[in-house]
Structure formats: C-alpha cells, structure tokens
Amino acid sequence: MASHTTDLEAGQEHAHPPGLAHQFEDLDQQLDATSFGMWLFLVNEIMFFGGLFAGYALYRSQMPAGFEAASNHLDIFLGGFNTVVLIGSSLTMALGVRSAQLGRNIWVRNWLIATLFLGLVFLGVKVIEYSAKYRDHLIPGANFQWPDPALAQGAQMFYVFYFAMTGMHALHMVVGAGLLLYFIRQAQQGRYHAHYFGPIENMGLYWHFVDIVWIFLFPLLYLLGLAFHGGGGH
C-alpha cells in the first residue's frame, strides 16, 4: 500500500501542468525559451526589413526627383487611416496579452477578435490601394506608365520598393491573422491562465513588430513628397 502511494505521489510530481510541453521542466523555463526564440526570429526579421530600407535609401539618394513624384501619387489619407488602424490593433493586442496573464480567456478571445478585425481592415485598405495602382498602370514592369519620361525610371524604382516593402508587410499581416484565428480558438477553449500565457505574449511581440515596421514605412513612402513640397496624395 505504501509503495502504491509513493508511486501515485511520484506520478503527480512528474505530471505536467496544463500548457507545459514535455521537453521543459516547468512553465517558467518554457516561457524563457519560447520568448528567446521569438526575439531571435524578430532579430532576423529586422535584418530582412533593414536590407529593404537600406536599398530604398540608396536608390532614393540616386533618384530623388522620381521618388518624390511617385510618393505624391500615394493616398496619404488611406495611409494615415491604416496607421491609426494598426496603432489601435497594437492596443487591443496588448489588452489581449494582459488578459491572458490574468487568465481571463473570454477577454483574451474578445481582444484578439478585435485585433483580427483591425488587421483585416488594414489589409482591405491595401487591396483598395493596390487596385488603384493597377488601374493607373503603376505596377513596375512592361506596362508601367508615367507622364514625365525624365522621372519615369525613378518613379518605377520607387514603386518597386513600395510593392516589395508593403507587400512583405502585408504578408506578415496575413500570417498574423492566421495565428490570431488559432489563438482565438485556444482562448475559447480556456487554455490560458496566470502561469501559462507565453503563446499570447509571443504573438503580441510579433504583432507589435509588424506594427512598428509600418510606422517606419508610412513616412518613408507616403510623406516623402509632402516633406519636400507640402504636396498630398492623389
């Protein structure tokens, strides 16, 4: 009987709490490891976007007039609206993380749904912008058209970076939206509690990073012409 009791106690001692993966000793170690992994991933993303920013700066310095003219064709209102939308989504994401830390799964779900909604609004606006660029023949390539031949090369190069940078950013938003759907379902099932909130915290880091990238993209792309001549978008 004593042996049986000892076996039961040993089993309880080695039983993993909810959310703990088998390769970790406890939830604190798991949180540290996953957070470290997320930061490594974000450092890699910073280097990737940093390369795009460096290329943009190089070509902008070589073709300033073409870049300025092309920037003036962007819709500052839509770009500004999307900036406000993403700032709002950062707030809802932060509230979702806080709710997870407090074990309030219903509010985790609600705040993540709000974040997802704002992310989809952002992507919807990008579809509107991309459609307008297609209609105006501003997609880089054989069909690219610009009224001033002297600025055409610089304008086309601007749109190469515009679509590369905003396109990669939008792809990260799509990935984030997919992850949010997964975490919304997990929260609906009551998976998170005061000792297990790491996945939501890491999701928050990813989402805030994507938002910060846009905070840099907006002035570089949309406000370039405005900075020089006080012009607006078209």
Is residue 216 assigned to a domain? yes
Cβ atoms of residues 85 and 122 within 8 Å? yes
Q: What is the CATH number of the domain that holds 219?
A: 1.20.120.80
pLDDT of 234 = 45
Cβ atoms of residues 169 and 161 within 8 Å? no
Is residue 177 assigned to a domain? yes
3-state secondary structure of 193: strand
Is residue 22 assigned to a domain? no
pLDDT band at 9 (very low <50, low <70, confident <90, very high): very low
Least trusted range by pLDDT, from 111-115, 120-124, 189-193: 189-193
Is pLDDT of 133 > 80?
yes
The domain tally of the chain equals 1
Question: Which residue range is the domain that position 109 belongs to?
Answer: 49-229
Is residue 88 assigned to a domain? yes
Cα distances (angstroms) measured from residue 25 to each of 9, 45, 223: 17, 30, 51
Is residue 165 assigned to a domain? yes
pLDDT of 224 = 79
Is residue 26 assigned to a domain? no
pLDDT band at 15 (very low <50, low <70, confident <90, very high): low
Give the model confidence (pLDDT) of 39-85 as tens digits: 888 898 989 899 999 999 999 999 999 999 999 999 999 999 999 99
Cα distances (angstroms) measured from residue 147 to each of 136, 157, 210: 11, 15, 34
Is residue 234 assigned to a domain? no
Is pLDDT of 2 > 50?
no
Is residue 2 assigned to a domain? no
